[in-house]
Homo-oligomer: A and B are copies of this chain.
């Protein structure tokens, strides 16, 4: 972030020079490469230099436009003042739609996340709270969603992430909420029962689990520590390979690794990172039962953002425990043709005989048909709270 050149020149210098010519030359030089096996390395480098010059000019021009937006919002606008998740989602979907190789979609998405992140961080970077320590899956989720120009702040608990965002010490927070194999992390959802924060986005991350121990020998393992969710993710593997060992659920995978470090007959299931931090050796892995094991994170913030064109809305509905209560809640959604992605019931915080439902539906709360259904639900006196409406995760 440090040194910044002062001059903001008009787009003149950034103008792209003869890209047509560069492309024409590209085609000419590429042809021989396919017929004979040697490539004229010098010619290729000249081509790439031309491409890089254009990319750089365009990135700089993009950064100047971003400055314009920032200026419009006020002299000292911080990144959070003009960060628009719905707009970023649209940009990334266009990147995926346009892509016809050779780079994988996820690689291009990552590069554009970084470019947007750099353009946004020109004044002051976004500060993102996450469940620490550094090196966790949560931190990976932060960088995947916000790029490396954002500032990731490791915090001690999910509760602390909510507190820091609410207090404005962090602009957004990233908290784990669901695993593809094992379902919802209830404690995260429960935070919304008492917190006024909103959901501004979601991130999906592939995760891999490893069995690790001090000795690295499976014969030594008589106890396996891990978070309950991770134990569940590896259930069949454990049944096949460590049926006799005691499984012990602990508060986090990092804690599991810490405990495994203290005894030769113990092992931990955790991400590789946690194992390395505590000097454990990998016995086996990845050992999760589903090869598509994915953790979903929520991005939490203080406001609601406009639609991106492909959104999801999260609702918190509180009902009295009486026959047909849930049915009445769902009726307007069904009638308006709103698809439901998920529903989770939870006892409401401290109120006897009241239940809370966390409901995810397709679409944005401000757009039809959902907006109409929500209006009806509210008009009929139901306790419906909008937790957030946000772009569906981009792979």
Partner-B contacts on A (CB < 8 A): 1-16, 19-20, 23, 26-27, 30, 33, 37-39, 41, 44-45, 47-49, 51-69, 71-72, 87, 91, 94-95, 98-108, 110-112, 114-115, 118-119, 121-122, 132-135, 148-149, 154, 156, 254, 272-273, 276-277, 279
Contacts and interface: CB of A to CB of B under 8 A. Distances in A.
Given A16-B16, A107-B121, 7 more contacts: A9-B101, A44-B68, A51-B62, A55-B62, A60-B99, A103-B119, A132-B276
A293 B15 CA distance: 38
By Cβ-Cβ distance, the 10 closest A-B pairs, closest first, are A5-B101, A39-B72, A16-B19, A133-B276, A135-B135, A133-B277, A134-B273, A134-B135, A154-B276, A33-B68
**What secondary structure prevails in chain A residues at the interface with B?**
helix
B23 A56 contact: no
A99 B132 contact: no
Contact of A44 (B65, B101, B121, B277): B65
A57 B95 CA distance: 10
8 contacts: A8-B101, A30-B65, A56-B98, A60-B99, A111-B111, A111-B114, A134-B272, A135-B273
Given A107-B1, A111-B115, A132-B276, A13 B100 contact: yes
Contacts of A48: 62, 65-66, 91
A20 B30 contact: no
A94 B49 contact: yes
Nearest to A96: B56
Given A62-B55, A115-B55, A277-B133, A23 B2 contact: no
A26 B62 CA distance: 10
B104 A279 contact: no
Given A20-B16, A30-B10, A114-B111, A56 B135 contact: no
Q: Counting chain B CB atoms within 10 Å of each CB, which of A1, A68, A156 scores highest?
A: A68
A358 to B, nearest CB: 30
Given A44-B69, A277-B133, A279-B156, A23 B16 contact: yes
A123 to B, nearest CB: 11
A59 B103 contact: yes
A99 B38 contact: no
A91 B49 contact: yes
Given A105-B3, A273-B135, A56 B115 contact: no
A103 B63 contact: yes
A111 B116 CA distance: 11
Contacts of A3: 104-106
Contacts of A4: 101-102, 104
